[in-house]
Amino acid sequence: MRWLVVVSLVCMSAPQAQNLPAPRERAAVIAAAARDAAAEIERGVGYGDLLFPLRSQRLEVRDWPGTVFFGPGWASLETWGVWSIGSTSQITLRLDSDDIPTAIYIHGRYYQGEEDTRLWINDVLVAEGPLDHRVVPLPPGMAATGSLHIQLEHINPLSPHDVDPQKQDYRKLKFGLTEIGVR
């Protein structure tokens, strides 16, 4: 599991590999970055510490690599955003120590109708309700930890197959995240 986390993070946050023309060169850069990241984790540095710090801003999909870590409960990134998979979805954001936020911004859309979602940050329930366009104040001192570990709890995820048996997509979808940020 640790290597999956490391390789996922490094593949998303190794822009130097994206500019290399040959697949072997890209693979070598990504592999070296993965080994370095794994060594950091072995020394006790969390994967959140490997992210670029987030200042007060909204991030769209193109801004996510290296800044937003998608843990369990997310599908692959698409051009418009990312679907949640299953009943819980996790995100980690590293905060800039010189720009402590007071709120989190979440924007997205729901699959098969809007529903309440529980929003947990650093193991504290901070909101419950639709997240399609939401600014949630952070409790005092929460951002002082240097990172936000976010968990979304979805009430009724459905697969496209559940809705239309002709479809072969069995992923249990609920929330399509298009923007996230802090302010």
Domain spans in the chain, listed from the N-terminal domain onward: 2-47, 51-182
Nearest 5 degrees, angle CA 1-CA 47-CA 78? Answer: 75
Residues 6+ apart with CB under 8 A from 176: 80, 81, 82, 83, 84, 108, 109, 110, 111
Question: Cβ of 39: how many Cβ atoms within 10 Å?
Answer: 11
Per residue in 123-167, pLDDT tens? 999 999 999 999 999 999 998 889 999 999 999 999 999 999 999
pLDDT at 35: 73
Segments of the chain with pLDDT less than 70: 1-21, 37-47
Architecture label for domain 51-182: Sandwich (2.60)
pTM given for the model: 0.77
